[in-house]
Chain A
Amino acid sequence: MLNKLFKFYGGVKPPSNKTQSVTLPIAPAPLPSRLVVPLHQSIGGTPRPVVEAGDKVLKGQLIGQADGWLSAAVHAPTSGTVVEVAMHIQPHPSGLDSLCVVIEPDGKDEWIARTPLDYAALTPEAVREHLQQAGVVGLGGAVFPTHGKLTASKTVPMDELVINGAECEPFITCDDLLMRERAEEVVRGIGVFRDLLQPKKVLIGIEDNKPEAAAAMRAAVDALGEPFLVIQIPTLYPAGGAKQLIRVLTGKEVPAAKRSTDLGVQCFNVATAYTAWRAIAHGEPVVSRLVTLTGNVHTPRNYEVLIGTPMSELLKLAQPHPDTDGIIMGGPMMGFLIPQADAPVVKATNCLIARSERLFPPKAPEMPCIRCGACARACPHELQPFELYWHARAKDFGKTQQYKIFDCIECGCCSYVCPSRIPLVQYFRFAKSEIWAREREKKAADEAKTRFEFKQFREEREKAEKAEKLAKAAAAQAAKKAAEAAAAAAGDAPGAASDVSSTKATAGPRTIETTAGPRTTEATADRTIDAAAEAKKAAIAAAMARAKAQREAAQPKNTDELSAQQAHDLAEIEARRQQAGIADAAASPATPTEAKTE
């Protein structure tokens, strides 16, 4: 195991609190009374529901079809009946609802026909497709669809495949237990990733506070005869962050603006490798995951939990103490209090911590920053959190970007060490979301401006074309007149009289829109156009006039320096303008009449 280890800057050593939940083996959680399976459980597009209320489903049956490339399918966690497809609370700090498939289990837990896959006989593309259809996503917490990470860069050779078994957050032990009990399947899953990415080395990083897991993984690697290196790394939060682990194991630093594959590295969580192997070797889509139940509970333990299990129901298994006042999803450094206890377990749920004042005493009041720099010495991305805080507080978002706010991974080290008890990470989340919101607004305004300018340009062009056409017609008419005059001089009177009557016949519909312009030349030019075309033109012109009236009511005046209210108004205007734009597009072939509708 001679692999040089590197250090990352900063980091903190919070009390790990892991021993409580590793004494008991993994247990299957009993079937809950109801499963609420959110369709949006991974980064990317929201899967489309393919079942309806009343449908019977089997365990592992597809209920949400992946929407586009960056999306992963969602499956029924058990057999039963779909009660409804409706909005339901999410385990997300926003407390917002999203579309969920609610299933009432029938108690049989009956699987669909599962077909193992001989992945060696398939193209890499087909294997990736299979993983997407099996709903395999990153289970370390980011839930990025795994198939999307299994393509090596075309230009950079894949040097290292890093497998993340670090599990650096306090309290969480689900990866630890997974490696202890199911190391062989984890290693086989890593083998699949290796075959798809063809790296030169496979490095499995495990924090040195999990010797049992490391030993089990080593034994599995040896038993399977794989050349993977199982490496114990120093316990230092956040060593389990993908970028920190890559740094520790390879010495490479992945900047915020780059993908790790650009540097010849890719990183997967051990649990992801495990589910990938289950999907391939057993045909089982991801319908459950390991969840650590810990914190203010009587019996902390890891459970194999069906996706969609209500958290309040699940936590009861660990017997929370009566003074429990909330549930934290994830670890105490990066997790969040779930807004409602009946939120469902999702693929990102690695841990539920019963919260209590005893376990997490209330924060002391926030003091002013004394610029002591403790945060800067703790930041694993080597940022200057106190400077970022200063600018985020002043809402000087340009400056926060100058100080690289988007390199912040929100690991919480800065808040952890701050003697003034400033919730730094929260300021940074606020600044980031404000910047995103402003960029969206600016983009909308820019698009509106571009559309408006193009419309003006088009109208100018059409005016010019019309004028040119009229000039040509006038020239033709002048020539004709000259010819007629010559003919009249020759004594051909009845021909001239019929011309006059045809002008009268067409004059009716034309009066609708003829308000300006060189009338005499128009009237004479029109003689060359037949009556049917005239009627059509008139109808189009009327439509244009209506569209124009709508447009004028909705004309943007000044898109610079928008207030929130203005931006909101603008969005509404945009919607209307889009309708008008469709009318425009329909009318545009009949360009010559438009100039007259002004």
Chain B
Amino acid sequence: MMFAPAPFLLKDTSVSQVMTQVCLALIPGIAAYIWLVGPAIVFQLAIASLAAIAAEAFMLKLRGKPLAMFLSDGSAIVTAWLIALTFPPLAPWWLVVTGTLFAILIAKHLYGGLGQNPFNPAMVAFAACIVSFPALMSQWPSIGLQMPLTDQLSVILGQLPRIDALSGATPLDSLKTALKLGDSQIDVAHLLANQDIYGNFAGRGWEWVAAGYLFGGLWLWQRKLITWHSPVAFLGAIVLLSGALWLYQPASFANPLFHLFSGGTMLGAFFIITDPVSGCTTPRGKLIFGFGAGLLAYVIRVFGGYPDGVAFAVLLMNLSAPLIDQLTQPRIFGMKGNQP
């Protein structure tokens, strides 16, 4: 190009800055996670990051793209971290690597790389692994069982046998299983009173991890990296549906607060459904996307067979995102009637 076009002034921003801030926003949640289950999660984050960078470099090389420019954009790291945070913390290393490779190689690059993937790569990885390895993907560490770091690493690396006694279900899963197995006398309030599994308002300890994600998400919103639309619609849908069922039958359904702070709700609300590439982009579209994902997540997690429903809900809404966007194009300047 002979002449650089206007504008000559550009804001100091870049894709890597955006991705770095998303990673920073995950830090409070990660900190709570470390406090809860120990530093194993840091190890998982590192494994996922390395696998993601290797896969990204391999695919960029294959596709003839400039390595340095795309490796430094940070998008692979965000995907890797989301995978590490959604997989069980003591999952074997190869499971995390498999998920990450699947996300980067197939969900991201086979669809055209950065900016082109119709599905959220981290959620594709989660869905693929939970379908392929349902047992491993459901083994969560029992709370209150403090394992030394070396043992944790040995479990992850497969040098220690995976002792079933060491692994429980998520609080969300435990509640569902208990309700399904139990006779009609069992009521949610009694189950939630079990302080081994449940804390102040959701899963014991896990509620603080969720609070960490909430905090990071609010920071992203304050930094204008995400808008309020999808998180509010997503959380709103969960509150509405869980609230209605809880009011209807408090004995069989947990309260909205429990659902807000359990499973992947907060991570999903602020870090998954806000993914601009696979989500909706128009304001009304984001509301529909978030609301739909919230409803589906609740239905799948409460009535479905999987421990949590966020991943499948997000993937289903990813499918509908282009259509929603087309149907919700905002009215433009001068097309809204001119009466002030």
B115: chain A residues at CB < 8 Å are 367-371, 420
Known A339-B3, A370-B277, A412-B6; contact A419-B332, beta-carbon cutoff 8 A: no
Contacting pair A364 B281 (CB below 8 A):
no
Is A383 part of the binding interface, using a Cβ–Cβ cutoff of 8 Å?
yes
Docked pose: A362 CA to B4 CA in angstroms: 9
In the complex formed, the residue of B with least CB distance to A335 is: B6
Is B145 part of the binding interface, using a Cβ–Cβ cutoff of 8 Å?
no
Is A174 part of the binding interface, using a Cβ–Cβ cutoff of 8 Å?
no
B333: chain A residues at CB < 8 Å are 8-9, 243, 247, 253, 255, 380-382, 407
Q: Tell me the minimal C-beta distance from A410 to chain B in angstroms.
A: 8
Is B146 part of the binding interface, using a Cβ–Cβ cutoff of 8 Å?
no
Contacting pair A255 B277 (CB below 8 A):
no
Binds B, one of A22-30, A74-82, A121-129, A421-429: A421-429
Is A21 part of the binding interface, using a Cβ–Cβ cutoff of 8 Å?
no
Q: Out of B6, B113, B332, which one reaches A404, CB within 8 Å?
A: B332
Which residues of B (1-44) have their CB < 8 Å from a CB of A? 3-11, 13-15, 17-18
Interface SS of chain B:
loop
Contacting pair A251 B9 (CB below 8 A):
no
Contacting pair B276 A373 (CB below 8 A):
yes
Best-buried of A255, A355, A368 by chain B (most CB within 10 Å): A368
In the complex formed, the residue of A with least CB distance to B224 is: A377
Is B64 part of the binding interface, using a Cβ–Cβ cutoff of 8 Å?
no
Contacting pair A419 B18 (CB below 8 A):
yes
A335: chain B residues at CB < 8 Å are 6, 8
Number of A-B contacts (CB under 8 A): 145
In the complex formed, the residue of A with least CB distance to B69 is: A365
Which residues of B (267-283) have their CB < 8 Å from a CB of A? 276-277, 281-282
B329: chain A residues at CB < 8 Å are 384, 403
In the complex formed, the residue of B with least CB distance to A378 is: B11
Docked pose: A332 CA to B4 CA in angstroms: 11
B330: chain A residues at CB < 8 Å are 382, 384
In the complex formed, the residue of A with least CB distance to B14 is: A419
- Tally chain A residues at the interface, Cβ within 8 Å: 67
Known A9-B333, A381-B332, A404-B332; contact A371-B277, beta-carbon cutoff 8 A: yes
B336: chain A residues at CB < 8 Å are 253
Is B331 part of the binding interface, using a Cβ–Cβ cutoff of 8 Å?
yes
Contacting pair B9 A333 (CB below 8 A):
yes
Contacting pair A253 B282 (CB below 8 A):
no
Which residues of A (558-577) have their CB < 8 Å from a CB of B? none
Which residues of A (209-254) have their CB < 8 Å from a CB of B? 243, 247, 250-254
A141: chain B residues at CB < 8 Å are none
Contacting pair A258 B113 (CB below 8 A):
no
Is B335 part of the binding interface, using a Cβ–Cβ cutoff of 8 Å?
yes
In the complex formed, the residue of B with least CB distance to A93 is: B3
Q: Which 6 A-B pairs have the closest CB atoms?
A: A251-B340, A255-B334, A412-B7, A368-B115, A381-B333, A332-B8
Q: 23 A-B residue contacts at CB 8 Å?
A: A251-B340, A252-B338, A255-B333, A258-B334, A332-B8, A332-B9, A333-B7, A333-B9, A337-B3, A360-B9, A367-B15, A369-B115, A371-B281, A374-B13, A376-B281, A380-B333, A384-B330, A407-B334, A412-B6, A416-B11, A417-B13, A419-B18, A420-B115
B residues lining the A interface (CB < 8 Å)? 3-11, 13-15, 17-18, 66, 69-70, 73, 75, 113-116, 224-225, 227, 276-277, 281-282, 325, 329-336, 338-340
Known: A252-B338, A335-B6, A415-B6. 20 other contacts (CB 8 A): A6-B340, A8-B333, A251-B340, A253-B335, A255-B334, A256-B334, A332-B6, A335-B8, A367-B70, A367-B114, A368-B114, A368-B115, A373-B227, A374-B13, A380-B333, A384-B282, A407-B332, A416-B7, A419-B18, A423-B5
